[in-house]
Chains A and B, each alone.
Chain A
Amino acid sequence: MSATFQPAARQRSDFLRVAWAVCREEWRALRRSAVAVTAGALLLVLTLAATLVSWDAMRAVEAERAHLQHEADEQWNAQPDRHPHRVVHYGHYIFRPLSPLAFFDFGVDPYTGHTLFLEGHRQNSANFSDAGQSSVLLRFGQLTPAFVVQTLTPLVIVFLAFGSVARERERGQVRLLIAQGLPGSALLAGKLASHAAVALLLAAPALAALACIGIADNSVRPHAAWMAAGYAVYVVVWALAAVLVSAATPRARDALLALVGCWIVTVILLPRVMPDVATAQVPRPTRIETEVAIHKELAAYGDSHNPDDPHYREFRRKVLAKYGVGRIEDLPVNYGGLVIEEGERLTSALFVRHMHEEFERQQEQAAIVAAAQFLSPVLALRSLSNALAGTDRASHERFLLEGEAYRYRMVQALNSLHVNEVRYQDDRDQRISKSFFQRLPRFVHEPIGLATVVERHVRPALAVFALWLAVLVGGAWWLARRLERGVPGR
C-alpha cells in the first residue's frame, strides 16, 4: 500500500483524516435516513419521559416514606408515661429512605419491603414492598432511565449500525474504496467512531439527568459520575459490537439477525434464565423455618421464666456476686430488667447470625448470576447501576442490619431504664416519665460508602467492559486487515 512509503506522522494524519471523513459521511447518511432519525428521536423522547416519570414517582415515594417516618416519630414522642417494658413492646417503625439517584434505577427497591417494625424479642420482616402490592404489570419492569438505556438503547444502536459496513459491501462500495487506497483500518475506525458517537447521543438525555443530579447534590456527585461512565461505556460497547458484526457478515440482513439474536440472548434471556438457575442451585429456607430454628436455639439457651434453669441460675449467681448481695431483692438495680436484658442479648445475637447466613446464601445465588456477566454485559451494568443508585441488594441488607442494630440499641436502652429507673418490687405497676423515651436517639440510615461500592460493584463491572472493549478492539484490528485484503465476507 502506498501509505507505507510515507513518514509515520503523515501516515497517522492521513489515517485520522480518512477516518474523520468516513465518520462524517456515516453521520450524514444516518441523518438522511428517515428510519434512523425516527428511531433516534423516539428513543430520545422515551428516555426523557422515563426520566421525568421516574423522577416524579421516586419523589412521591420519598415524600411518602418521609411522611410515614415523621408520623411514626410523632407517635413515639407522644407516648404517655409508661413502663419501659411496655415501650419495648410498643416498638418503633422505621422506613427506608432512598438515595437521590434511586430515580435513575429502582433496582431491587420495588421488591423489598421498606417498612420495618422494631420491637423487643422479635425480628419482623420488612413489609409493604411494591411487588406485593402490584398487579402482574410490575413484572414487565419499570420505566426508568436505567431500563431504557440498558434494554432499549442497544436495540436502537443495533438498528442504526447493522448496515454500516455490510450494506456498503453489498453494494460493492467497500471494495471500491479499498481499491482506491483507503486504509481499511481508517474506514472501520470511522464507522466505529461515528456509531459510538451516535450511541452516546442516544444515551445523552439519561447521562444529562445524571449530570443534573450530580451538580445539584454534592453527596452523590461521584456516584453519578461513575454511573454515567458505566452507562457510556456500555452503549459504546454495543455500538462497536454492532459495527463489527456488520463488518464481519456478508449481508446486512444476516448482520441484523445476528445482532437482534445477541440482544435477545444477552438482554432478555440470560438475565431471566440465570436467576432461575441460581434459585435451583442454592436452596434457601422459608421465613417460617428460620423463625422456628431461632426459636429452638433460643429455647436451648435456657428459659428465663424457669427458676431452676441452669443458664439463668448462673446468670443470677454472677449478678449477685457482682453487687455482693445474697438476694435479688437486695440488689440496687431491678433484677427483672437484667434478665430481660440478658434475654435480648441472646436473641439479637441469634437474629444477626441467621441474617448473615441468609445474606450469604443470597450472595451465593447472586454469584451464580454474576458468572454470566461476561456473556451478558447488561448484568454487569445492572450491578454497577443498582449499587451506585443505592437500590441494590447490599443496600437493602444494610438497611436490615442497621435496623436490627438500632432495634437492639433501642430495646437495650429501654431495658437499662427498666433496670435503673424501675424498682424490683411491684415492677409492673410503675411508670417512668415519657421524657426518658423522647431522649432516645432516632434511627439514622447511613448509605454504603462509595469506596465499598466502587470496590465491590463498579470495578468488577468496568473490568467486564474493559475485557469486552479489548476483544472488540482485537476484532476490529482483524476485520480491518480482512477488509484490506479485499476478502469478501463470504
Chain B
Amino acid sequence: MKTLQLELRLALHSRLAAGALILLLLLTALAVWSGLHAISNQRDALARIAAVQRDDVAAVAEKYRDGGEAGYAAYSTPHLTVNPPAPLAFAAIGQRDVQPYALRVRLLGLHSQLYESESINPELAAAGRFDFAFVLVYLAPLFVIALMHDLVAGEREAGRLRLVDSLPVPGARLWRRRIALRYGLVLAALLLPFAFGAAGADAGLGATVLVALGAALYLAFWFGVAAAVAALVRTSAAGAAVLLAVFVVLTLVLPTFVNGAIGRAVPVSKGAELALAQRQEVHNGWDLPKGETMTKFFRTNPAWRDTAPVTGRFHWKWYYAMHQAGDDAVAGRAGDYRAALTAREDWTRRSGWLLPSVAVQVLLHRLADTDLESQLAYQDRIAAFHTVLRRFYYPYIFNDRPFGPAEFAQLPAYAAGAGGGGVAVTALGALGILAFAGLAAGAFRLRRVRAL
C-alpha cells in the first residue's frame, strides 16, 4: 500500500501525467454532458411531435363529426410512430442523429413511407458526435500513449534504469504496478463522469457495468500494447512514434478501410430499386382491370374475398388493395434489401475480432441501442403497426361501415417498446481476447527489459 502511494505521488508528480488525467476527466465529463444534452433534445423533439400530431389528428377528426368514409379518413390521417432513445443512448449516440426517430405512416403502401429520412444538417452529422464513445475510442488511447510511451525509456533517459534493474524486486513487478496504477487512473477518469451520466439517465446497473467492462477491456488492450512498445523502444520519442502509428492504423485507417470494403462488397442500391418497383406496381394498378388487382389482394387477404365486389371508377377497397398488392409485390426485394443491411452489420461485427476499436463501438452502440440493428428493429415495429392499421381500417372499408367520432376515438396508437439495447456477446468476447493478447504481449516484453 505504501509503495502504491509512493507510485501515485510519482505518477502525479509529472505535470504531463497529472495534466493529461485532469484533461481526460474534463473531456469525458463534457462528452457525457453533451450526450445527455443531445438526447434530452431528442426527447423534447418527440414531445413536440406528439403535440403537433394530436392537433393534426384532432383537425382531421373534426371533419368526420357526422361520420364519413373510412377510406378517406384513413387517407388523411397520419399515424405517429416513435423510437425514443434508450437510457444509455447518451453514451453512444451512434446513428440517432442521422436516422429518423419519429415517422408518420398512413394506410397507403408501407414501402413508400418506411424509408423517409429525417431533416438533418449533413455537415454536422459528417463530423460525428462528441460523446462518451468518441472519448473512449479515439481520445483515451491517445492519453494512454501520453502516459505510457516513456514508461521504460523515460527511466533510461533519466539514468534511473540501472537503479531499477538493481532493485531486489523483479523489474517486471515494478512495471506491472506502475502500469496498473496508470490504468486505474485513466479508467477512473473515464468511468466517473460516465457513471454520473448513467445514473442521471436511469440506465440499468447491468448495462452500465457492461459499458464499464467494455471500457476496461479496451483500455487494457491499449495499456498492453503500450507496455509492449515502451519495453521495446530505446527512446521515448520512438515510443510515441510507434504507438501513434499503431493508434492511427487501428482506429483511423483500418476501420475506414473495412467500411469502404464492406460498402463495396455489399451494395444497398436495392433500397432505391425497391422504391421504384413499388411505385410502378401501385400505379400500374390504375391501368389494369380492377378485378386483377383484387385477385392479387385476395391471395394474401382471403378474409375479404366475399365482401361486395368493386364497381364504378373508384372505390377505397380497390385503392388500398392496390397499395397492399404493391407492398406484396416488392416483398422479395424488401427482403433482399434488409439482408444486405444485415450483412453489413454482420461484417462489421466480424471485423471487431481484429479491431478493438470496432469491437468496442459495436458493443457500446448495441447496449445504447443506437446502431443500424436498432433502426431495422424500429422499421420492423413500424411495419407491425402498419399491419395493425390495416386490421383496424379494413373492416370499415371492406364492409362499407361509416367512420365517425366514435371510430376516431379508437384509432390504434403506436406503443413505443421499452427501448433498450442488447449485449453484443461476440464483440465483448472479441474485446476480451484482444485485451488479453495486448496484456500478454506487454507482460512478455516487459520481462525482457534490461538496463542496456
Contacts and interface: CB of A to CB of B under 8 A. Distances in A.
Interface of A: 35, 39, 42, 46, 49, 53-54, 56-57, 60, 64, 67-68, 71-72, 75, 80, 82, 86, 89-91, 93, 95, 107-108, 110-113, 115, 117, 124-143, 147, 151-152, 155, 159, 162-163, 252-253, 256-257, 260, 264, 268-269, 271-276, 278-280, 283-292, 295, 299, 358, 362, 365-366, 369, 392-393, 396, 428-429
A272 B137 CA distance: 14
| Chain A, interface SS category | helix
B275 A93 contact: yes
Interface stretch (B183-191, B243-251, B300-308, B442-450): B243-251
5 tightest CB-CB pairs across the interface, nearest first? A108-B122, A135-B348, A140-B255, A111-B122, A143-B256
A117 B238 CA distance: 56
Interface in B295-335: 313-314
Contacts of B279: 75, 90-91, 93, 117
B349 to A, nearest CB: 8
Given A275-B127, A288-B52, A292-B56, A136 B276 contact: no
B18 interface: no
Among B55, B120, B244, B255: residue with most chain A CB under 10 A: B120
A125 B123 contact: no
Contacts of A125: 116-119
B94 A369 contact: no
A108 B119 contact: no
B53 A288 contact: yes
A384 B244 CA distance: 28
A129 B251 CA distance: 24
Contacts of A124: 116
B68 interface: no
Contact of A64 (B118, B120, B269): B269
B258 interface: yes
B8 interface: no
A77 to B, nearest CB: 13
B344 interface: yes
A134 B117 CA distance: 14
Among B55, B256, B372: residue with most chain A CB under 10 A: B256
A484 to B, nearest CB: 27
Contacts of A57: 260, 263-264
B142 interface: yes
Given A139-B94, A140-B259, A276 B102 contact: no
A233 to B, nearest CB: 22
A67 B124 CA distance: 30
Contacts of B258: 137
Nearest to A86: B286
29 contacts: A39-B241, A39-B245, A46-B253, A54-B260, A57-B263, A91-B279, A111-B122, A115-B271, A117-B275, A127-B116, A131-B125, A132-B99, A134-B262, A135-B371, A136-B95, A136-B362, A136-B365, A140-B251, A141-B128, A143-B256, A151-B252, A269-B139, A275-B124, A276-B129, A279-B38, A285-B119, A290-B119, A365-B121, A393-B121
B386 to A, nearest CB: 17
A271 B127 contact: yes
A336 to B, nearest CB: 15
B452 interface: no
B119 A358 contact: yes
B416 to A, nearest CB: 15
A188 B165 CA distance: 42
B396 interface: no
Contact of B117 (A126, A256, A257, A291): A126
Nearest to A64: B269
Interface string B32-57: 00100110010001001100110110
B141 to A, nearest CB: 11
A134 B126 contact: no
B122 A393 contact: yes
A264 B16 CA distance: 15
